[in-house]
Chains A and B, each alone.
Chain A
């Protein structure tokens, strides 16, 4: 294959940037545990209310400054729909959907995940800054989608 000299330089630099992006992504994902949410457990979406832990949604203290939030999403609400935690808390969300596909995004944090029926989705976050965080559904889920929101109060 015959390439112009300048084109070779351009392609080497371009591919270099792409590879650098890859290396950085991989390093963050695997060395720093920043991989995207990828819950692999499954459950029967028609039996969410009878399946542990979703038979008892809520917020549970699981250690010092550590909480597990067991949450179900359905059109058009989060359950629980308000969470209060002290600043510095590490929160582990365990979620599933009782009906259609939803998305959860905690504005101002990196929490952003799809919650689909049939899967248990997990994501964690440490809340250092006090405030009232807006949590929204960010995947269209029906006529009341724009009302599907909750708050996390960090004190």
Chain B
């Protein structure tokens, strides 16, 4: 009786308060930057696609490689991280009963730092001082202000992460013996990965800055490259973990079902956090300076990420099947028809999950030494990450935006916007199928990535790639329409949709779910394991690279 009263009271409290307006403002601001980055990055992507197909000449004052650098940084770094911070801060606010005033302030400082970073990075790229790609491999040397901009970006991310840790720690202190809510658990995992994953790149950039100012003559190229990739691929898995948090927590609720298993979900988070950082090594399989045996050891270390992904695949389809059957789906596949296909909040993440089946298989191919050698640096790789990041991650983020933005702006997700969202999702999917499909195919034929349109002097082999590249351009054109629609939807939901109430969907767990064991809350232990795995993967290879003679700077653009 007392319990019932308590829950009624709790219900009333949330009813009155709804979303904390100050927290909502912070999250919305991050999302505004995120969708702005999507818009600009998307337009730059279209220009590249058209150029690559030989249909369009870019002007000398903003050439292909400037376009490509800006596209990569805007979409891979700005769109995804600002979205993740905006989303998880909203999640922490919602599940932990609001952000602490101190944490909200940290969120704004983080935002300021990231904006300063983006301004520095964008300015140097536009000025032609930093056509060095998202990977900025030395000894190609950008303006020092480009690297300083990256420092501001990373510092912003760290501040946001520590803000999240403080809020979670505060909640735990006041809720002794309880497990932190699942979505806050995901947020903790993502921010732990962000902090530890970016240590390598931070060290790299801090050595590049004195070199870029000319205070230091040479730079260790392979060491920089290795430090970069300890971060580069972790970032991918940070987006992935962000995306699957919505699959585990929000999607079951949206389809009228229940969460799979609290304990297993937390285990998936922990495994992804621990196993992640050495996964980036597969970017260096055909590099010199790393022994064959270390490359082989890393095949194993990278492939181990497949394990939590397999668990996720099972969990998702188990949720779909149970929900479909409860709604009366009969027979082997009858449950499938019972899913809410007309609801874009389900359709978008579902397509995202489906894309991860070929996407994940492609990832396994790249992790294996010899298969990697076949596709390394070809357009196949670009096709692969447009499938994983462009579909699996981006479509899930769009799927989140449909309920997160109106929840934050206290507006309604209207049926008209749902219809537009479905059109957007289909355009995006078809565009990506064209683009990613043709990239996969032409990459197998040898067409390289990060290269403007060329026939290599009319060489027969290169001319044979052209028909595939036309499909790439068609895909890019469909995608820009989808980007424009998505940005319109986001802006409409932020500022123009009818006032109302949208729910933050959080699923209850199945009655037979495996409860979370106590040790899943021991983050100290999890971090020790993470460091141990990173040390296992990196100490010896990095030690072997330390004595390599350094390189002076070059500016080749």
Stretch of A7-15, A52-60, A62-70, A84-92 on the interface side = A7-15
- A29-B296, A119-B289 known; A34+B370 contact, CB < 8 A: yes
For B263, the chain A residues whose CB sits under 8 A away are 1-2
Q: How many residues of B contact A (CB 8 A)?
A: 72
Residue of A nearest to B317 (CB): A10
For A146, the chain B residues whose CB sits under 8 A away are 451-454
Please state if B291 and A116 are interface contacts (CB–CB under 8 Å): no
Work out how many contacts link A and B, with CB atoms closer than 8 A: 218
Can you list 14 residue pairs at the A/B interface with Cβ under 8 Å? A1-B267, A14-B310, A26-B299, A29-B292, A37-B286, A37-B373, A38-B287, A45-B551, A112-B377, A118-B551, A119-B548, A142-B140, A142-B554, A149-B457
Please state if A114 and B373 are interface contacts (CB–CB under 8 Å): no
Please state if A99 and B556 are interface contacts (CB–CB under 8 Å): yes
Of A37, A45, A139, A140, most buried by chain B (CB within 10 Å of CB) is A140
Q: How far is the CB of A23 from chain B (nearest CB, A)?
A: 11
1/0 contact trace for B365-381 toward A, CB 8 Å? 00011111110111000
1/0 contact trace for B335-379 toward A, CB 8 Å? 000000000000000000000000000001000111111101110
Complex Cα distance A37/B373, Å? Answer: 9
Residue of B nearest to A37 (CB): B286
Residue of A nearest to B446 (CB): A107
B410 CB within 8 Å of chain A: no
Residues from 102 to 140 in A contacting B, C-beta threshold 8 Å: 103, 105, 107-108, 110, 112-121, 132, 134, 136-140
Please state if A25 and B369 are interface contacts (CB–CB under 8 Å): yes
Complex Cα distance A144/B552, Å? Answer: 20
Please state if B377 and A138 are interface contacts (CB–CB under 8 Å): yes
For B466, the chain A residues whose CB sits under 8 A away are none
Complex Cα distance A110/B461, Å? Answer: 16
1/0 contact trace for B435-467 toward A, CB 8 Å? 000000000011011111110110111100000
B18 CB within 8 Å of chain A: no
For B311, the chain A residues whose CB sits under 8 A away are 7, 11
A101 CB within 8 Å of chain B: yes
For A112, the chain B residues whose CB sits under 8 A away are 286, 373-374, 376-377
13 other A-B residue contacts (CB within 8 Å) besides A34-B370, A114-B287, A117-B139: A2-B514, A3-B514, A6-B314, A22-B303, A25-B368, A25-B369, A40-B288, A45-B139, A99-B556, A103-B286, A116-B288, A134-B446, A141-B140
Complex Cα distance A90/B489, Å? Answer: 59
Residues from 449 to 501 in B contacting A, C-beta threshold 8 Å: 449-454, 456-457, 459-462
For A141, the chain B residues whose CB sits under 8 A away are 140, 556
Complex Cα distance A21/B291, Å? Answer: 20
Complex Cα distance A119/B299, Å? Answer: 23
For B453, the chain A residues whose CB sits under 8 A away are 146
